[in-house]
Structure 1
Amino acid sequence: MPLHLLKLCVGAESIRDLEEWIEENMLLKRRLGRPEEQTHTTRMVPKRIDELVDGGSLYWVIKGQVSARQCLTEVRPFTDNDGIGRCHLVLDPVVVPVEPRPNRPFQGWRYLTAKDAPRDIGRDSGDLGEMPEEMRRELAGLGLL
């Protein structure tokens, strides 16, 4: 059973903000001739790497709610120029909206088990899939989703 990570998406106001940041980052890497992959750098290296890359995702908390996820394909530990251990989380650039769920702020990241992970919102999600993100966020905040 896959294991997931939960992380705050600092600075993003919406899922679209996150998608635009990813697009800009990919364009920059293409212009600089770097590998076109999305990475997110964290200070702490997860100990359960094998479980994370075996179908796990990084779930993003945007404006106080778990809102989206990206498949986690690789975890690359490294030491930065100051001698501090960090890691790159290599992510599939496709952002998948999930059923919004309130989440308090926290530092770093947290493990999230598959049974506790919110479900994806897709085309077959009925009205929820067609609803604008802002409305989903507001209804979830009111406890109606």
Structure 2
Amino acid sequence: MTKFVNLVKLSVGTESVDSLAIWQTMRAAERPDSLPRHVTRMWPKRKAEVLNGGSIYWVIKGSIQARQKILRFDEVIGSDGIRRCAIVLDPELIRTQSTLKRPFQGWRYLKPEDSPMDLPKGRDQEEPLPAELASALAEIGIL
């Protein structure tokens, strides 16, 4: 059995999975490899486990709604001279079942067994439920 771990991260300022995709596409176009990435201060101590099949799960409007496979970690030195970690991602955003997640700072590890399932093929293009309805349904265990 492959041992891996995922990351979970708030997508601050994002209104939907589609708006996250648009933002990532615009930013990725500025890079030679055209791959989306998220730059963070902290490097994962469990880097090998993350790179063994892990994804980053995006929290949008209070619930996990999508994930992306993590391809690698690149070192980035900011204009302030501080070393940071760029989490380099597969461009494909995979929609997941909506799962409530309380706000937190930075990123957290997410065990595979605690990760929401991907939406079945065909359902990934459905209009998402309004955030308030999705939250209410998730709270009572229906979503």
- Please indicate the TM-score interval, normalised by the length of the shorter structure: 0.7 to 0.9
Structure 1 stretches of 5 or more lacking a match?
A: none
Which residue identity lines up with residue 92 of structure 1 in the other structure? D
Match of 2:128 among 133, 138, 145: 133
Q: Which moved more, 1:49-58 or 1:69-78?
A: 69-78
- The one-character-per-residue Cα deviations of 1:81-104 (angstroms, maximum 9, x if unpaired) are 423231000100100000101111
Following superposition, the deviation at residue 22 of structure 1 comes to 1.9
Map of 2:10 onto structure 1: 8
SS of the residue 2:103 aligns to? coil
Q: Does 1:50 pair with 2:45?
A: no
Greater percentage in helix = 1
Following superposition, the deviation at residue 53 of structure 1 comes to 0.7
State the distance in 2 between where 1:122 and 1:101 align: 15
Structure 2 matches for 1:69-88, cutoff 5 A? 69-88=67-86
Q: TM-score, normalised by structure 2?
A: 0.86
SS of the residue 2:29 aligns to? helix
Map of 2:121 onto structure 1: 123
Map of 1:142 onto structure 2: 136
Q: What is the aligned length? A: 137
Question: Any conservation in 2 of the 1:45–1:77 contact (CA below 8 Å)?
Answer: no
Following superposition, the deviation at residue 35 of structure 1 comes to 2.2
SS of the residue 1:142 aligns to? helix
Structure 2 stretches of 5 or more lacking a match?
A: none
Q: Between the two proteins, what is the percent identity of the paired residues?
A: 39
Give the alignment's Cα RMSD to 1 decimal: 1.8
